[in-house]
Structure 1
Amino acid sequence: MTVTDIEILPNLRDLGGLPAADGRVTRPGVLYRSALPAPGDTRPTTVDHWPARTVIDLRSPREFAARAHPLQSDDTAVHQISLLSDAEVIAPNQGARLTDIYQGILSNAGERLVEVLQVAATSPGPVLLHCAAGKDRTGVAVALLLRTAGVAPDDIVADYLTTNEHMPAVLARITRFAPELRQTHPHERDLRGAVPDAIEGVLARWEVQQGGVHAWLRAHGATDESIRIWADRFTANA
């Protein structure tokens, strides 16, 4: 990895072009995902529009407060919506399965996932979701937005596993640009990369609920209107 490599935001991709329900496809330029942005990043070439107009930062309050967000500007609004608490982030959870961590997010942060949906549905795009690695918290939130828009589980799992291609760069970036986490990162869960069973468990939990992910969202405070707005915004006829 070169010095230049570490100045490129890793795990950044546009989630457009995925097949959705009823012959539709996700629109490019609406939803991005990435690892942690850093000051001085070079302009990425993997997306057409940069910087994103809206950023949803899924890190914990302590992570978020460590320094000003590098993308915050008059043209980019940053929303902090924590999916794990400070205690959960720094916990010595090397023995915890990623599946259990993801299920804990669904159990403890359902209302915050609804907030992610609301911001994504109503804020200027492109919308960027990120946490520290762009794998676990981002993986769950992205899965929610994709499934809500009708993307099939297999395609969601495939996108999630794409993160494994970027993990060496992701881990190097956390070490360099998140010194407040140097005592706890990389977690063993970071070193394990993206694990299909973990995201499959998330998708299965939504599927077993009568009415699927839309019913799960409504049970945690989402409105039919926000679900419809998001699906209409993010998908188009193929």
Structure 2
Amino acid sequence: MTVTDIDVLPNLRDLGGLPAAGGRSTRAGVLYRSALPAPGDARPTAVDNWPARTVVDLRSPREFATRAHPLQSDATVHLISLLSDAEVAAPSQGARLTDIYQGILTNAGKKLAGVLQIAATAPGPVLLHCAAGKDRTGVAIALLLRTAGVEPDHIVADYLSTNEHMSAVLARITRFAPELGQTHPNDRDLRGAIPEAIEGILTQWDAHPGGVHEWVRSLGATDETIRLWIERFTE
């Protein structure tokens, strides 16, 4: 990997252009996802509008507190931790990604509803990221896409596209997140994106009475937030 490669934010993409319910499609320039931004990153070419105006950092408090967020001078940065410091530091010990993702739904569901609120109302583009941009980001992005009416197959395909970027992601974590050196890359990262993991939470949302909309309502999201998000993100 060249210096140029490692100085470009990996796993960055615009979630526009995905088919959604009712013949609609997701709007470009609204929602981005990526791995961990770093100081001195080159201006990315993967998205048209940069920097994002709102950033949702899904890392744990300890990860977040290590240094100032590199985008804070250009964006409003929200910390919404989907895994605790202890959960991030603990070895996965072969735990299935499916179980880890289910744990996020169980333990951080209200925080996911908070992510939806920010995405629906904060200035855009809105960027979601964690360390790798795979697990915590994958769950949160799946919720936003499914709430907007994107079908599961397209959500899974987007999630799996992270595997194309994992070598760059792991190199970046080693260089720019040395505080995670003993736990990253861990076996969760090395396994990459596994379809069964994201399919498990999509199945849970669709099986919930009233679907994903009722699931997120049960955790504090309002009808108005859901409406605003759909109107903002789809066309």
TM-score bin, normalised by smaller chain: over 0.9
Residue equivalent to 2:4: 4
Return the alpha-carbon distance in structure 1 between the equivalents of residues 171 and 203 of structure 2: 32
Residue equivalent to 1:21: 21
- Residue type of the alignment partner of 2:47: V
Q: Does 1:216 align with 2:207?
A: no
1:36 Cα offset (Å): 0.1
Q: Does 1:153 align with 2:152?
A: yes
CA contact (8 A) 1:94 1:187 kept: no
Within-5 A mapping of 1:156-171: 156-171=155-170
1:95 Cα offset (Å): 1.4
CA contact (8 A) 1:90 1:184 kept: yes
Return the alpha-carbon distance in structure 2 between the equivalents of residues 93 and 165 of structure 1: 22
Residue equivalent to 1:199: 198
Return the alpha-carbon distance in structure 2 between the equivalents of residues 136 and 95 of structure 1: 15
Q: Does 1:233 align with 2:208?
A: no
Return the alpha-carbon distance in structure 1 between the equivalents of residues 113 and 13 of structure 2: 22
Identity of counterpart residues, as a percentage? Answer: 80
Within-5 A mapping of 1:114-193: 114-193=113-192
CA contact (8 A) 1:36 1:133 kept: yes
> What secondary structure, in the 3-state scheme, does the structure 2 residue paired with 1:28 have?
coil
Residue equivalent to 2:70: 70
1:187 Cα offset (Å): 1.0
1:97 Cα offset (Å): 0.5
Return the alpha-carbon distance in structure 2 between the equivalents of residues 132 and 14 of structure 1: 18
Residue equivalent to 1:84: 83
Return the alpha-carbon distance in structure 1 between the equivalents of residues 47 and 221 of structure 2: 30
Q: TM-score, normalised by structure 2?
A: 0.99
Return the alpha-carbon distance in structure 1 between the equivalents of residues 223 and 44 of structure 2: 35
> What secondary structure, in the 3-state scheme, does the structure 2 residue paired with 1:26 have?
coil
1:93 Cα offset (Å): 1.5
1:191 Cα offset (Å): 0.2
1:210 Cα offset (Å): 1.0
Identify the range of structure 1 (90-99 vs 3-12) with the bigger mean alpha-carbon deviation. 90-99
> What secondary structure, in the 3-state scheme, does the structure 1 residue paired with 2:25 have?
strand
1:94 Cα offset (Å): 2.6
Unaligned 5+ runs, structure 1? none
Unaligned 5+ runs, structure 2? none
| Number of aligned residue pairs | 235
Q: Please identify runs of 4+ aligned residues in structure 1 that moved more than 2 A.
A: none
Return the alpha-carbon distance in structure 2 between the equivalents of residues 211 and 2 of structure 1: 49
CA contact (8 A) 1:131 1:138 kept: yes
For the aligned residue pairs, the C-alpha RMSD in angstroms reads 0.5
Return the alpha-carbon distance in structure 1 between the equivalents of residues 224 and 93 of structure 2: 40
Return the alpha-carbon distance in structure 2 between the equivalents of residues 106 and 224 of structure 1: 20
Identify the range of structure 1 (137-146 vs 93-102) with the bigger mean alpha-carbon deviation. 93-102
Residue equivalent to 1:61: 61
